[in-house]
Amino acid sequence: MNETPNGEKPCVLLIEPMPSWTIERARDEFDLIVLPHESKRPQKFLDNVDRIRGIAMPGFATVDASLMSLLPNLEIVACFGVGYDGADVSYAQANGVAVTNTPDVLTDCVADLGMALILACLRRIVVGDRYVRAGRWKSEGIMALNDAPRGRCLGIVGMGRIGLELAKRAEVFGMSIAYYNRSERGDVPYPYYASTKALAEACDVLALTCPGGEATQNMIDGDVLQALGPKGYLVNIARGTVVDEAALVQALSEQTIAGAGIDVFVDEPNVPEALFGMENVVLQPHQASATIETRTAMGNLTIDNLLAQFGSRPLPNQVA
């Protein structure tokens, strides 16, 4: 149990949703205040703003300057996830607040889902499931042929940990790899393209594994989708904001691209309803890291970052 010199547990604000076992461990370690959403201001929160020393937040929550400024003794914002674009890092840095995340522990699971979405799109796995359930196999015969991954090029936007793991998986299925990154990597054997549009023109499947935030907002726009072309697929396991969602809906409806596998959206859980009736789209509820094993490791690492801060130890995963 982590206690201050006066015997009190450090006060931590936890923003839901987080796994129940993470919340239970947090209650053991901290004097915990739970918010159902970052916009809520219950009385318990208002009564303890001077005591709150840390925030535990999902990576997609918004912890901005207006929230942090209410907490004069805030020391750390611990993000439950590899992405931390929901935290106002500039404000945190200017006010001596540390920001941490949970990398590495979710890399494999996110890459796994990325590969699953590639296969689901190319092999039309979800379409085939619907075809059988609707009795169409019996009434209409064999379903239309689909596309094999072997021999196709996977273009990866963001060649970090997850991008590298996705590349390894795709190579097993006989795909070649190319990539776009903020800068070319000397330790990566794949061809580098200097723009997302150039990469889209060169590949058959464009997979997004880059960070969110202002720097990548709407990076994949109508021009990039046009370059991907009518035989190309988009797979997004990054952040919804990386894609111009209206342009994507238009490209899919007009068959500017062949299809898409999407795990993340701009305004979750609100998904453009126009996508619901499209057979060339595979939709997921932001679950790339959503395995019991990975979410347990993420929760423990989030708490470990908080404990290190309150114990004046080096932070395991400080990003700012």
pLDDT tens per residue across span 105-130? 999 999 999 999 999 999 999 999 99
pLDDT tens per residue across span 244-277? 999 999 999 999 999 999 999 999 999 999 999 9
239 is catalytic: yes
Is residue 47 situated within a structural domain? yes
One domain, residues 57 and 179: no
Is residue 183 situated within a structural domain? yes
pLDDT band at 60 (very low <50, low <70, confident <90, very high): confident
Is residue 315 situated within a structural domain? no
Is residue 210 situated within a structural domain? yes
One domain, residues 41 and 145: no
pLDDT band at 136 (very low <50, low <70, confident <90, very high): very high
One domain, residues 82 and 158: no
Which tokens belong to 45? 């929160």
Q: CA-to-CA distance for 191 and 184, rounded, in angstroms? A: 9
For residue 80, count CB atoms less than 10 angstroms from its CB and return exposed for 0-12, middle for 13-18, buried for 19 or more.
Answer: buried
One domain, residues 63 and 128: no
286 is catalytic: yes
One domain, residues 118 and 140: yes
* pLDDT averaged over every residue in the chain: 96
What is the chain's alpha carbon radius of gyration, rounded to the nearest angstrom? 22
One domain, residues 135 and 26: no
Is residue 317 situated within a structural domain? no
The count of structural domains within the chain is 2
One domain, residues 155 and 16: no
pLDDT tens per residue across span 22-43? 999 999 999 999 999 999 999 9
Predicted TM-score (pTM) of the model is: 0.91
Give whole-number Cα distances, 223 to 163, 218, 251, 256, 277, in Å.
23, 11, 10, 11, 24
pLDDT tens per residue across span 283-310? 999 999 999 999 999 999 999 999 999 9
Q: What backbone phi and psi angles, to 5 degrees, belong to 305?
A: -65, -45
Q: CA-to-CA distance for 163 and 235, rounded, in angstroms? A: 12
Q: What backbone phi and psi angles, to 5 degrees, belong to 255?
A: 60, 35
Kindly name the residue from 27, 51, 123, 286 that is annotated as catalytic: 286
37 is catalytic: no
Give residue 63's domain range: 11-105+292-310
One domain, residues 221 and 143: yes
Q: C-alpha angle 182/185/190, rounded to 5°?
A: 110
One domain, residues 189 and 238: yes
Kindly name the residue from 140, 254, 268, 293 that is annotated as catalytic: 268
Is residue 220 situated within a structural domain? yes
Q: CA-to-CA distance for 104 and 95, rounded, in angstroms? A: 28
What is the arithmetic mean of pLDDT over 69-86? Answer: 95
One domain, residues 118 and 97: no
Kindly name the residue from 53, 152, 239, 295 that is annotated as catalytic: 239
One domain, residues 85 and 201: no
CATH number at residue 113: 3.40.50.720
One domain, residues 124 and 204: yes
